[in-house]
Structure 1
């Protein structure tokens, strides 16, 4: 039960163990990419990074925003509604993921008739298709667990188990190609997705297996509601991914794979800063959905403002420490990657805004303002994409870093503006009326 106020130190205490787990996951991700950078040539590491970026985009298309829908709907669902909602979303996600996977394979086959592809990239396409399905279910099951406030279990399937297994494989049998690296990642993801279904059955059972006869009449209505919300969230998710990752796909046409590897590593290191935000969102997102649904606006505001204060402090301290230690960190990856230091520093500014503005995007989504956020995101992302296409061919890696940083800063500031305008002010007025 939430109290009327949650101070930043209380929120930090609640999230301390989760933060440790997420930091461990980020450390494992760093070790995984460190081992790859050591075992692969820069060009092969760049090819692997390109494949993983393609996987991110295909997974977002496959999930159709259903991971966020699962989180929001499960958070406010009753025991009787839980099983129905879970299976509607899982079946919907299965169909979507299979369609996207088939489009990847047949689309690549169609394109190779007109433009001879890189043979090494051709080998990776089937693995990307399989991983698209696997990553979709990992996202859905992680959100289902998080929606019912099993945050630690949810964190296990947001990368931790996958990286543990992948690191073990790399340590036991080093790789020398991007294909082998992606194959190891596939093995690890298969183990993680099997475990995710076991955890969902254990944590949410018997509720998820209970679909009563009366529920069948509501399935069409529930599906339409889920479909409507997921359309909005899909666009938002794609736009967010484009802001952070589209630069890699565009750069692939203008720079060497070795240069792409340098930028990819810079982006990966800067993204580590976003992990505290992910942890706070895992704790607060289901609470936002519940509080707003139950019209507990005062508690909603206190939680939102407390989390923003905490994230501002973490962002400022984190960026300061990374600026001081960045050269030492990069030196472990090898001299070829030392040139990415300036790129990381630029990207870290964008991550500072990402954290310092708090969970503004999550607040808008969990309070039902996904249409507004989708509209804002579409406008800003369109400008961002045009800038990438205009400046990357001329200025290369530096343009990609600066445009990505500016886009992240502006998007988060716009989201914070609307949170202040539509959430804080509105909920305070509604609280007064209800009293």
Structure 2
């Protein structure tokens, strides 16, 4: 066993992937810990009902921010990775994405703030949600900035900046505000969240453009839009799979059920934080290999990364499946009711992990349209099935539908990777 590990790590590309994945994983552990702590603070400080309002509003702005980014997330990652040494080009790509994403984000912010009373009373049947929606609406702008800036950092292999930008800084600031000022309502927490994003987005944007060289040239707008259009559909449908269930539960069920599902979902997503860490390393590699026409490098890196994922994630999955009540109980005794929801969602995330970085494999190798088809199937599947299953079986039904379509999305992506690139990531033990 030890000799096999030594043989694998003797390969420069494998060693680079493993070392950088370890660095990314260490930072991701910090990020996952911060996200977990943030959710714990919100749940315990606000209680089930008020935290339900907050998580419902958060799901809505996360979804709207994904739409507002116009698909530039992965486009920015792909094109910046291929030209990461040219500072002028890096800055131009980022500013091009922000030039179009920020006005749309501002429009969504105004619409959300204006329609908050109608959404709270008519759509969600929760009049006390109005203030929370109004105060969290500016977060749409902040989220758009930090996600795009984080992608620019990731493409340039600046993982120490990318992960805090996307997952740590605003959670840390907001959590600190909730504790220090003893927030006891969802609307107050929403205000702190928006302010935290305002601070962190400005700071990380400044860092992203600071000290860049003047090498390179302006990117071709047609190429960026050509990539962004299918990526937009991919992002919208992927985010719909992730965030539509809490919103739909908010329409049909009481706020406490939103809180139980949201907490379970966030715990379950800890199983895939290892996948996210590996993605930070391999996604730019896939893009660089594709730009050089190195199909062997893509295959070798993809299969090696799946092995890392399976070995790392299996203990976490087993722990969550065996001790769901303990984990949910950390957020308060009433949250133990969501133990079965957690187990169901963990199974969906487990499939997400063992299939590997199939989404990025397709998108970074120029097969965005295949990934668009995959996410359309899974996205519409969630949007159709979750309301039906929620009506029939409550939050557990929503969890079943969500887990099924997360699994289906990744298995379909595996199929297209096999079809386009010639290898199956599920057969991770094959010779690389």
Give TM-score scaled by structure 1 length. Answer: 0.89
The 5-angstrom pairing of residues 86-105 of structure 1 reads: 86-105=94-113
Matched, 1:14 2:20: yes
Matched, 1:60 2:73: no
* TM-superposed deviation, 1:181: 0.8
The 5-angstrom pairing of residues 111-190 of structure 1 reads: 118-190=126-198
Are the structure 2 counterparts of residues 148 and 342 from structure 1 closer, same or farther at C-alpha, using a change threshold of 3 Å? same
Distance 1:116 1:295 in 2: 50
**Alignment match, 1:408:** 406
* TM-superposed deviation, 1:423: 1.1
The unaligned stretches of length 5 or more in structure 2 are 1-8, 425-432
Distance 1:89 1:5 in 2: 34
Are the structure 2 counterparts of residues 425 and 335 from structure 1 closer, same or farther at C-alpha, using a change threshold of 3 Å? closer
**Alignment match, 2:56:** 50
**Alignment match, 1:251:** 249
**Alignment match, 1:310:** 308
Range moving further from structure 2, 377-386 or 412-421: 377-386
* TM-superposed deviation, 1:379: 2.4
Distance 1:245 1:111 in 2: 17
The 5-angstrom pairing of residues 279-298 of structure 1 reads: 279-298=277-296
Range moving further from structure 2, 80-89 or 396-405: 80-89
Conserved? CA contact 1:4–1:298, under 8 Å: no
Distance 1:71 1:370 in 2: 13
Are the structure 2 counterparts of residues 49 and 223 from structure 1 closer, same or farther at C-alpha, using a change threshold of 3 Å? same
* TM-superposed deviation, 1:55: 0.9
Are the structure 2 counterparts of residues 361 and 114 from structure 1 closer, same or farther at C-alpha, using a change threshold of 3 Å? closer
**Alignment match, 1:39:** 45
Range moving further from structure 2, 74-83 or 407-416: 74-83
Matched, 1:360 2:349: no
Distance 1:118 1:387 in 2: 23
Conserved? CA contact 1:271–1:351, under 8 Å: yes
Are the structure 2 counterparts of residues 130 and 87 from structure 1 closer, same or farther at C-alpha, using a change threshold of 3 Å? same
**Alignment match, 1:70:** 76
* TM-superposed deviation, 1:271: 1.1
The 5-angstrom pairing of residues 301-340 of structure 1 reads: 301-340=299-338
Conserved? CA contact 1:120–1:179, under 8 Å: no
Residues 356-403 of structure 1 show CA distances to partners (whole Å, capped at 9, x for unaligned) of 000000110101111111123212322332221222111111111111
Task: State how many pairs are aligned.
Answer: 414
Are the structure 2 counterparts of residues 48 and 408 from structure 1 closer, same or farther at C-alpha, using a change threshold of 3 Å? same
The unaligned stretches of length 5 or more in structure 1 are 427-435
**Alignment match, 2:213:** 206
Are the structure 2 counterparts of residues 44 and 182 from structure 1 closer, same or farther at C-alpha, using a change threshold of 3 Å? same
* TM-superposed deviation, 1:111: 6.5
**Alignment match, 1:381:** 379
Distance 2:231 2:375 in 1: 11
Are the structure 2 counterparts of residues 168 and 396 from structure 1 closer, same or farther at C-alpha, using a change threshold of 3 Å? same
3-state SS in 2 of match to 1:252: helix
Conserved? CA contact 1:4–1:299, under 8 Å: no
Residues 161-205 of structure 1 show CA distances to partners (whole Å, capped at 9, x for unaligned) of 112212222221211100111111122212211220221123x52
Distance 2:36 2:124 in 1: 34
Range moving further from structure 2, 115-124 or 64-73: 115-124
Distance 2:407 2:257 in 1: 25
